[in-house]
Structure 1
Amino acid sequence: MSEQVRVRYAPSPTGHPHIGNIRTALFNWLFARRNNGKFIVRVEDTDQERLVPGAVDSILEGLQWLGIDWDEGPQVGGDFGSYYQSERLEHYSAAAETLIDTDHAYRCYCTRERLSELRDSQKANKQSIGYDGHCRSLSDTERNDLDSSGQSYVVRFKMPHDGMTSVNDIIRGEVEWQHHLLDDFVLLKSDGFPTYHLAVVVDDNLMHISHVLRAEEWLSSTPRHLLIYQALGFTPPKFGHLPMILGPDKSKLSKRHGATSILEYRDDGYLPDALKNFMVLLGWSLDDHSDVIPLETIQSEFSLDRVGKPASIFDIDRLQWMNGVYIRELSDDQLTDLMLPFITDNTVSIDREYLLRVVPLIKERIKTLAESKDITSYFFDTDVGCSKAQIIQKGMDASQTITALKNIISAVHKLDPFASGNIEEVLRTTCVESDLKPREFFGLIRSAVTGRDATPPLFELMEVLGKDSTLLRLEKALSLF
């Protein structure tokens, strides 16, 4: 590309960052990195009534956790700050005055009551909802009188009644809008804060944004933005609108589909690279078959011509599967260190070296780090909570179970060394001598030692538990009878 790529992620701190919001950040970041450009973070905090305390920190923390770094913005600065819109009000008021002076905007003095009555009337008459231009043609005298009376006002854009506006969207192609279907929208609110429409145009121009990549929901705002660019004499950036993300039932994505805030994914034990891989496939593809794609490949191959138009489907099961793949690619040392915070709490202190021996046994079974505590609990707690009914296997009675447990305990006592190969050899011999089926015999041991019906390989598991702990569990099981 001949011009330097400058893209921005411009979240509104009216809530904590969700999967669709961060997907937009990821696509912008990848596009910037692929094209040796700049990735800018700008906080759009002009909706003062809806600001959520801590949301900005949550947004920035989420980006940092994912490894999405920014070249300009909060914490790092830049040549075009401030990067908080609430600190840039003079730019928006100046632009609004310019638009008024050039007859592209006007002051609207309509009260909330009048606007509410207008909406009710339009609904009752099954008309499209929108401003009716009541203040568009006020005379200078009428405006002066309203100003003198102290009547508050907003600034509205004067939408052309004729003609159309079009955009050649990078992703969606040519899209057109007829002007007569658009109303005179608000640019500047009565409190002096801009609406999204004015602020985004002013800031994207001042910050030399070359490409605007945003969610499809903003496509309908594009004609308004293009008309503001034109009225202010600015050169607009290129636009690309990313496909929607829906739940598996094709409805709007929500928490019931497993979609939540980015930091909750962190707290639920997802790996940042796995989540980035999952998110990039919500709209982009490398080819027709690749799912697990190294970040280096994604960065080197990312291009907007591989972003599709159809809505993407958020599948939490696919995310969990992918996270499991990434977990299995970790070294045992890496996984041990990542699991420790999920297992250790105020009541449990974990020996790292012991956990390091456990990790290879559970690595193929774990899908998220949050499962760490449950999937390893019986390695650390000798009271596995096994009941008499659970120990007695199908096809066995209490008497057979007691005899089998005594034989097993006797065999385990004699085991030396207590290594998986030796454990298997001795216990298989004991199984034959006990005249029990392997399913019954080893199911009994598994239940007594772990309290579970399904575990990693039993003999390797017993070796890690150690002889003393294994005997203690077997004897506890026998004491139930």
Structure 2
Amino acid sequence: MASAPSSSAVRVRFCPSPTGNPHVGLVRTALFNWAFARHHGGTLVFRIEDTDAARDSEESYRQLLDSLRWLGLDWDEGPEVGGPHAPYRQSQRMDLYADVAARLLDAGHAYRCWCTAEELEARRDAARAAGRPSGYDGLCRTLTPEQTAAHEAEGRTSIVRFRMPDEPITFTDLVRGELTFTPENVPDFGIVRANGAPLYTLVNPVDDALMEITHVLRGEDLLSSTPRQIALYRALAEIGVGNGSIPRFGHLPYVMGEGNKKLSKRDPQSSLNLYRERGFLPQGLLNYLSLLGWSIAEDRDIFSLDEMVSAFEIDAVNANPARFDLKKCEAINAVHLRAMPVADFVAACEPWLTAPHAPWRPEAFDRAAFEELAPLAQTRLTVLSEITDNVDFLFLDEPATDEASWAKAMKPGADALLRTARAGLAEAEWNAEALKAAVLAAGEQHGLKLGKAQAPVRVAVTGRTVGLPLFESLEVLGRERTLARVDSALKTLEQQA
């Protein structure tokens, strides 16, 4: 399949509706458009499709902008940037759509449809029963002026329908190859509601034409609307709207969730906010999302956004559905975390070291102590939010003891081991190597290897059986606090005996 042309004339658009929270499927679409535009030295137009007043919200609009900024996906035209085709919010372009609809009516490319919802449903049922396509049957296509006047006299309302051509529509999809849609499968469709509000089916192609969009990269769920839009582009060219060109289309594969079902906004793991709250890095999340339908090489999963831009071609996108794998997403994020300069990692952890995420008193936080352990934490985290549980023992007055960890480590004989270990720790030089030797020696006295011997010490001091390297942690925590926590654990064991 031929690649899209490499040219500064490439213009793509990302045009979400401001409804609800941004989801990962939407981000994948934004990413592919962004990478395509950057690869070809083109323009990314960010457009807001907010003509549905009942569903759109200003809060969602602000979230969209904030999300793209957080991800680092910049745009060349659109909100907060401006451009030659402003405004870029469809709610601010309503007069334009009304004018285009009127011109389509005058030119015969559209007509008024007076059918009621009940009439339409009855005819659809009859068509299905007869084994015919159940789309609109074109009843109002050829109404006489007298019939139209009669409908008006009845007080009926009308919508505006676009008149589809009576021949097949063929186009070459940049992902799926050549596709043909026959007239019986693409009936006339509504473009203006009875209340005069324009529909997506009108405003989207009108804006594409006026904004000179050259390539439309969007989800596979919109594939069935493409022949309708192509027909509308042709009609718009005839009435002088736009430059007369038709964008090339590429339909991106579905993103599948659990149970091999299409990932939807309702799936918890689809919400972008979830990944921000858990502390995914933008570059880690985008790296993974780029793999949902595309790859930089067969044997390579980790790469930077710059590397993606350099390699990205739309004809390399796979048409088959892509499965969202949270574990792989986390693993890729972890690789990006470990590759960060330590200073950047420390700065990125900041939100999880302060209120409301941090469970310790603000004045208890010791930045120097955290920075000592940060390099060790960096090698173990999957997402940034995990830093809180990994270092809370440093800043809490008492460790947040996990009951399961206590039960696992504090088995019969743990008290004797702890007493021996405490004595060794009290006499040891306070560095990780000497502390390890003290616990190792305590274990040998009780017939335990280091792994078994250090478990009660770890739970006594940190509250958990897993965490950062124990002896480096003890070194940073300090002799006084370490011994006090061992004493507290021994006291608890005595009470439990």
TM-score category (smaller protein): over 0.9
| Separation in 2, partners of 1:411, 1:315 | 47
1:86 partner letter: S
| Greater alpha carbon shift after TM alignment, 261-270 vs 383-392 | 383-392
Give the secondary-structure state (helix, strand or coil) at the position aligned to 2:141.
Answer: coil
Q: For each residue in 1:265-315, what CA deviation from the matched residue of structure 2 results, as whole angstroms up to 9, or x when unmatched?
A: 111211100111111111111110110112211111111122111111110
Give the secondary-structure state (helix, strand or coil) at the position aligned to 1:259.
Answer: helix
Instruction: Report the counterpart of residue 92 of structure 1 in structure 2.
Output: 97
Task: Answer yes or no: is the 8 Å Cα contact 2:428–2:435 preserved in 1.
Answer: yes
| Separation in 2, partners of 1:436, 1:307 | 56
Instruction: Report the counterpart of residue 479 of structure 1 in structure 2.
Output: 491
In the alignment, structure 1 residue 404 sits paired with structure 2 residue 417: yes
In the alignment, structure 1 residue 390 sits paired with structure 2 residue 406: yes
RMSD over aligned Cα atoms = 2.4
Q: For each residue in 1:111-150, what CA deviation from the matched residue of structure 2 results, as whole angstroms up to 9, or x when unmatched?
A: 2332343344445555433222221111123324544665
Task: Answer yes or no: is the 8 Å Cα contact 2:7–2:40 preserved in 1.
Answer: no
Unaligned runs of 5+ in 2: 1-5, 238-243
Q: CA deviation at 1:65?
A: 0.5
| Separation in 2, partners of 1:52, 1:104 | 33
Task: Answer yes or no: is the 8 Å Cα contact 2:7–2:42 preserved in 1.
Answer: no
User: Cα gap change, 1:250/1:51 in structure 2, threshold over 3 Å: closer, same or farther?
Assistant: same
Instruction: Report the counterpart of residue 460 of structure 2 in structure 1.
Output: 448
2:226 partner letter: T
Instruction: Report the counterpart of residue 237 of structure 1 in structure 2.
Output: 247
Task: Answer yes or no: is the 8 Å Cα contact 1:391–1:447 preserved in 2.
Answer: no
| Greater alpha carbon shift after TM alignment, 320-329 vs 426-435 | 426-435
1:352 partner letter: R
Instruction: Report the counterpart of residue 241 of structure 2 in structure 1.
Output: none
1:226 partner letter: I
| Separation in 1, partners of 2:41, 2:251 | 21
Q: CA deviation at 1:92?
A: 1.8
User: Cα gap change, 1:257/1:103 in structure 2, threshold over 3 Å: closer, same or farther?
Assistant: closer
Q: How does 1:13-412 map to 2 (within 5 A)?
A: 13-123=18-128, 127-147=132-152, 151-161=156-166, 163-233=167-237, 234-247=244-257, 249-254=259-264, 259-345=269-355, 348=360, 349=362, 350-381=365-396, 382-385=398-401, 390=406, 397=412, 400-412=413-425
| Separation in 2, partners of 1:209, 1:342 | 42
1:383 partner letter: P
| Separation in 2, partners of 1:2, 1:435 | 72
| Separation in 1, partners of 2:400, 2:112 | 73
| Greater alpha carbon shift after TM alignment, 152-161 vs 265-274 | 152-161
Q: CA deviation at 1:68?
A: 0.6
1:245 partner letter: V
| Separation in 1, partners of 2:475, 2:152 | 85
1:223 partner letter: P
2:427 partner letter: K
User: Cα gap change, 1:268/1:427 in structure 2, threshold over 3 Å: closer, same or farther?
Assistant: closer
In the alignment, structure 1 residue 468 sits paired with structure 2 residue 471: no
| Separation in 1, partners of 2:66, 2:482 | 44
Give the secondary-structure state (helix, strand or coil) at the position aligned to 2:269.
Answer: coil
Q: How does 1:2-21 map to 2 (within 5 A)?
A: 2=7, 4-21=9-26
1:312 partner letter: A
Give the secondary-structure state (helix, strand or coil) at the position aligned to 1:219.
Answer: helix
User: Cα gap change, 1:215/1:384 in structure 2, threshold over 3 Å: closer, same or farther?
Assistant: closer
Q: CA deviation at 1:372?
A: 2.1
User: Cα gap change, 1:3/1:294 in structure 2, threshold over 3 Å: closer, same or farther?
Assistant: closer
Task: Answer yes or no: is the 8 Å Cα contact 1:19–1:261 preserved in 2.
Answer: yes
Instruction: Report the counterpart of residue 414 of structure 1 in structure 2.
Output: 427
1:215 partner letter: G
1:407 partner letter: T
Q: How does 1:423-442 map to 2 (within 5 A)?
A: 423-442=435-454
| Separation in 2, partners of 1:203, 1:388 | 59
Task: Answer yes or no: is the 8 Å Cα contact 1:388–1:477 preserved in 2.
Answer: no
> Which of 456, 460, 469 in structure 2 is aligned with 1:457?
469
- Matched residues, percent identical? 37
| Separation in 2, partners of 1:151, 1:257 | 41
Q: TM-score, normalised by structure 1?
A: 0.92
Q: For each residue in 1:355-404, what CA deviation from the matched residue of structure 2 results, as whole angstroms up to 9, or x when unmatched?
A: 1122223222211112222232223233343679937858x73xx44333
Task: Answer yes or no: is the 8 Å Cα contact 1:160–1:180 preserved in 2.
Answer: no
Q: Would you say how many aligned residue pairs link Structure 1 and Structure 2?
A: 476
Q: CA deviation at 1:221?
A: 0.7
| Separation in 1, partners of 2:8, 2:424 | 77
| Separation in 2, partners of 1:313, 1:437 | 44
| Greater alpha carbon shift after TM alignment, 336-345 vs 40-49 | 336-345
